[in-house]
Amino acid sequence: MRRGLTFAAALLLGLAIWQGAIWATGVPRFILPPPTLVAETAWTSRALIAEHALVTFTEVLAGLGLGALLGAATAIGLAQSRLARELAQPILVFSQAVPVFALAPLLTLWFGYGLWSKIVMALLIIYFPVASAFLDALLRTPAGWLDLAQVMGAQKRRILWHIRIPAALPGLGSGLRLAAVYAPIGAIIGEWVGASRGLGYLMLLANGRAKTDLMFAALITLAVFTVLLHYAVNRACQRWLDRP
């Protein structure tokens, strides 16, 4: 209850600052529309926004799921072999040295203007945080637990699945929380480069037609979805991953 009241107060404060800036500067509506106009546009264009939002949400959720699975699998594989870590580390560092946004035109060329280019873009953005956080947690398993398991004659595979992975789940949760925030960025960047549907496409279309109120409505829709996605992932991590 208290958290809800704090969020509502912060929201009202943000809206007041937004409206106050308009009054203080006298900025035209086509540059910065007032909150009331954005709310009116969001309601009157709700069907259009919902149609494009469904596409973006599908891309984000698919990219988040695939990226999380691939990142977790990579972390488990690298945790099992020092040689694999030494060989893969330069590749992973190089993959992060190349701006992922610069790959968007290539992904559009390879996968087309449909959903898959945006899903792969979201996957690439969240893959490294998930893999890195989970791998770091896997490598930090308490030495006493591992020594005890070896003394009791546990096999390497059983140590992995019954000791190392359960102990590293909080690290995986941290990576998933970051991924929930980053995934929408990848989908939107992909839609900006080339798409005919989605909130990113709708924002570009509205901007080109000087419909700033519609652009803000689409942007706020994306922001609300990102906050809700982060909240859902955080709750799931607290319930299933971070529990003792």
Above 70 in pLDDT, residue 153? no
pLDDT tens, position by position, 168-204? 888 888 899 989 998 898 888 888 887 778 898 999 8
At 18-33, the pLDDT tens digits run 878 778 777 788 888 8
Domains of the chain: residue spans and CATH: 37-241 (1.10.3720.10)
Identify the weakest region by mean pLDDT among 85-94, 140-149, 167-176, 193-202: 140-149
Q: State residue 169's pLDDT score.
A: 87
CA distances from 180 to 53, 138, 148, 221, 225 (A): 16, 21, 36, 16, 10
Tell me what the mean pLDDT of segment 62-90 comes to. Answer: 87
C-alpha angle 45/221/227, rounded to 5°? 165
What is the number of alpha carbons within 13 Å of residue 173 lying toward its C-beta?
18
